A and B are shown apart, each in its own frame.
Chain A
């Protein structure tokens, strides 16, 4: 078995791979931002005094966390057309799915982050006469996010790996790019191997950066 990577020219990379890489990165960034925003809302709902809000948020998070991501992707792809009334592409469906799915995971991280802020901060804010919105946006959340920034980054790396699962609905991501290139040139083996290397390099670099940051932050504290 002879491996031959010579067919990977810049022309091919430009035509097949970059498009997929761009989508994977876009999906990661949008799902992270959307996930953090909706995750914060979910976390605040779970920590609120309103029983109904707590119940809804708890159910949402538990259901999302007990279904495989692939099934969630398929569910949204199946249901989106009947909700919106017209069929949307696999790419748009992937954005919505990932935001909805990751929000459940981010909300658990954010909830732990909020809980890690000492209770005294909460009481002090109350004593100063702050209302809920002031207390959260000025006192609790800034400290909570500082505590959980590393976990959030680790989750983002996992999220980047998970984007490969949009394969199930045929969206054109990084993995799909390599697969199409491999099929077009009749060399799928080299293509899959190269895909693994590219994913590894990206994720390994990112997690090394997170590890470095961890040491830095540990010294400051």
Chain B
């Protein structure tokens, strides 16, 4: 069995090969040709990154908010309602498979809320993926806040800080640093989970793999290209998070993650 990577230079319309392997992109002053499979692959990669990035943004904002709400003191009725709501949020979005959630956002919710009917499918997938991941981030956020020494909270209280100030200046800055390692794997999971977008015809990497495998019958080459891009993306996310972790570290406060227990 021999691999034929020339296929990536082939036009997606005709049986011709582009000498530069690019038809649409990277013209370098020459005439644009038919899009090649390499063009298509890069476009699919861009969709994967777009869906992942948007989902990550939603997941971080919602997840950190919900996770913080879960740690509120149970001293008023309003707080108890917030705690119940945030706990229910986590249970709801954690216990339904991500693919089913994507179908819900794509098929069911636009029927119930007509305003969403005109929203493009990639946006709906990002919302679905973002909410799914938000439940997991909320879980880590809660664990991060509860892992802080009790003295932090008590000291802030004795300084006369309000609840809002305690969270803003004492608890959240420390908790956010603590959860960076689990957050890193969640960020990588988002890139991987974005593959479910194929089910609602977002033309991202997995759908590219499925379509081109049928179209060219060069499945192995296509799958190799797609798999490599997934690994590159996930690894880049990992490196970016490592940089963030290093930049935000407060000397003497938290041990580096690499010396963690094992």
- Which residues in A have some Cβ–Cβ distance to B below 8 Å? 1, 63, 66-71, 74-75, 78-79, 82, 112, 115, 161-162, 164-165, 167-168, 175, 188-189, 192-193, 195-196, 199-200, 203-204, 207
> Complex Cα distance A188/B112, Å?
13
Name the contact of A188 in the complex, choosing from B107, B192, B231 (C-beta under 8 A): B107
30 contacts between A and B (CB under 8 A): A1-B111, A66-B234, A67-B192, A68-B191, A68-B192, A68-B193, A69-B195, A70-B198, A71-B227, A71-B230, A74-B213, A74-B223, A75-B223, A78-B223, A82-B1, A161-B96, A161-B97, A161-B98, A168-B198, A168-B199, A189-B107, A192-B103, A192-B104, A192-B107, A193-B104, A196-B100, A200-B92, A200-B95, A203-B95, A207-B94
Query: What residues on B are CB-neighbors of A164 within 8 Å?
Result: 97, 99-100
> Complex Cα distance A68/B189, Å?
8
> Once the chains bind, are B209 and A193 in contact (CB under 8 Å)?
no
> Once the chains bind, are A112 and B209 in contact (CB under 8 Å)?
no
> Once the chains bind, are A74 and B196 in contact (CB under 8 Å)?
no
Closest to B197 in A: A70
Judge whether B247 is part of the interface by a CB distance below 8 angstroms: no
Query: What residues on B are CB-neighbors of A82 within 8 Å?
Result: 1
> Once the chains bind, are A69 and B192 in contact (CB under 8 Å)?
yes
Query: What residues on A are CB-neighbors of B234 within 8 Å?
Result: 66
Q: Within B73-107, which residues are at the interface with A (CB < 8 Å)?
A: 91-92, 94-101, 103-104, 107
> Complex Cα distance A170/B16, Å?
33
Query: What residues on A are CB-neighbors of B111 within 8 Å?
Result: 1, 189
Chain B: interface residue total (CB-CB under 8 A): 40
Knowing A66-B231, A68-B195, say if A207 contacts B95 (CB, 8 Å): yes
> Complex Cα distance A69/B111, Å?
30
Q: Which 8 pairs from chain A and chain B are nearest by CB? A: A68-B195, A203-B95, A161-B97, A68-B192, A164-B97, A70-B195, A204-B95, A164-B99
Query: Least Cβ distance of B101 to chain A in Å?
Result: 7
Contact with A along B152-192 (1 / 0, CB 8 A): 00000000000000000000000000000000000010011
> Once the chains bind, are A196 and B104 in contact (CB under 8 Å)?
yes
Main secondary structure of the interface of B (DSSP, over half): helix
> Complex Cα distance A63/B104, Å?
31
> Once the chains bind, are B95 and A74 in contact (CB under 8 Å)?
no
Query: What residues on B are CB-neighbors of A78 within 8 Å?
Result: 213, 219-220, 223
Closest to A78 in B: B219
> Once the chains bind, are B97 and A199 in contact (CB under 8 Å)?
yes
Query: Least Cβ distance of A194 to chain B in Å?
Result: 10
Query: What residues on B are CB-neighbors of A196 within 8 Å?
Result: 96, 100-101, 103-104
> Complex Cα distance A70/B98, Å?
12
Judge whether B226 is part of the interface by a CB distance below 8 angstroms: yes
Query: What residues on A are CB-neighbors of B227 within 8 Å?
Result: 67, 71, 75
> Complex Cα distance A75/B222, Å?
11
Closest to A165 in B: B99
Q: Within B215-261, which residues are at the interface with A (CB < 8 Å)?
A: 219-220, 223, 226-227, 230-231, 234-235
**New A-B pairs, 17, CB < 8 Å, besides A196-B96, A196-B103, A204-B95:** A66-B192, A67-B231, A68-B192, A68-B194, A71-B223, A78-B220, A164-B97, A167-B199, A168-B199, A175-B97, A175-B99, A192-B100, A193-B104, A193-B108, A196-B101, A204-B91, A207-B94
